[in-house]
């Protein structure tokens, strides 16, 4: 078991409703989730729940030194690891519900892309609503939001509720293909044009 996998499993066992996974996401899932990051310009990319950094690495590769990458991690141990591993990433040890405030503190108006690794299906309805409201309020009108869900979570009422909330908060929501080579298999939601 790799150090990242051991850390993830340990943190999951301590707080399964905050970590939501027993292992880091695969590179294939990271590539799918990070697809909306623009190839040009100086985008503001927000990453929610980066954990040990599989999406962070993909975002950094796609940005190649451009723009601003803000990674928001609520878990202290993972935030410290992320800051050490990715010194050029702006790591905020904070709750994602504070996203608007975190952007303002940095002099950033809005996010162009929000990439989420948060365990949406593990959250109660109020938390889902509060976090999604914080996300959409912090996005530009043409921004993209991506997140993923594990295939085994599809029938859960909390996962169905989250999918309905996505449709409520965005004009366009497109489910991607299943990434079978992710432990466990997952699929990506691509959402655009947040509703006010």
Per domain, the residue ranges of the chain are 28-36+47-90+97-194
User: Can you identify the CATH homologous superfamily of domain 28-36+47-90+97-194?
Assistant: Vaccinia Virus protein VP39 (3.40.50.150)
pLDDT digits (tens, 9 = 90+) for 145-168: 999 999 988 899 999 999 999 999
Is it the case that residue 192 has pLDDT exceeding 60? yes
Per-residue pLDDT tens digits for 60-108:
999 999 999 999 999 999 999 999 999 999 999 999 999 999 999 999 9
Full-model pTM? 0.88
Confidence of residue 12 (pLDDT cuts 50, 70, 90): very low
3-state SS, the chain, equals: CCHHHHHHHHHHHHCHHHHCCCCCCCHHHHHHHCCCCCCCCCCEEEEECCCCCHHHHHHHHHHCCCCEEEEEECCHHHHHHHHHHCCCCEEEECCHHHHHHHHHHCCCCCEEEEEECCCHHHCCHHHHHHHHHHHHHCEEEEEEEEEEEEHHHCCCHHHHHHHHHHHHHEEEEEEEEEECCCCCCEEEEEEEEECC
Per-residue pLDDT reduced to its tens digit, 21-72: 545 668 899 999 999 999 999 999 999 999 999 999 999 999 999 999 999 9
């Amino acid at each position: 078991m790799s150090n990242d996998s051991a850390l993830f499993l340990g943190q999951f066992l301590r707080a399964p409703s905050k970590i939501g996974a027993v292992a880091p996401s695969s590179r294939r899932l990271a590539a799918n989730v990070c697809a909306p990051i623009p190839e040009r310009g100086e985008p503001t990319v927000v990453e929610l729940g980066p954990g040990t950094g599989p999406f962070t690495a993909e975002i950094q590769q796609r940005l190649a030194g451009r723009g601003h990458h803000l990674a928001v991690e609520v878990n202290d141990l993972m935030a410290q690891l992320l800051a050490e591993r990715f010194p050029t990433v702006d790591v905020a040890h904070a709750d994602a519900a504070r996203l608007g405030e975190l952007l303002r503190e940095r002099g950033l108006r809005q996010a162009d892309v929000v990439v989420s690794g948060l365990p949406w299906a593990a959250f109660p309805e109020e938390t889902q609503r509060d976090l999604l409201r914080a996300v959409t309020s912090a996005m530009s009108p043409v921004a993209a939001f991506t997140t993923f869900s594990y295939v085994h979570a599809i029938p859960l009422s909390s996962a169905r509720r989250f999918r309905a909330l996505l449709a409520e908060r965005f004009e366009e929501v497109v489910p991607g293909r299943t990434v079978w080579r992710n432990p466990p298999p997952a699929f990506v939601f691509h959402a655009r044009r947040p509703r006010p």
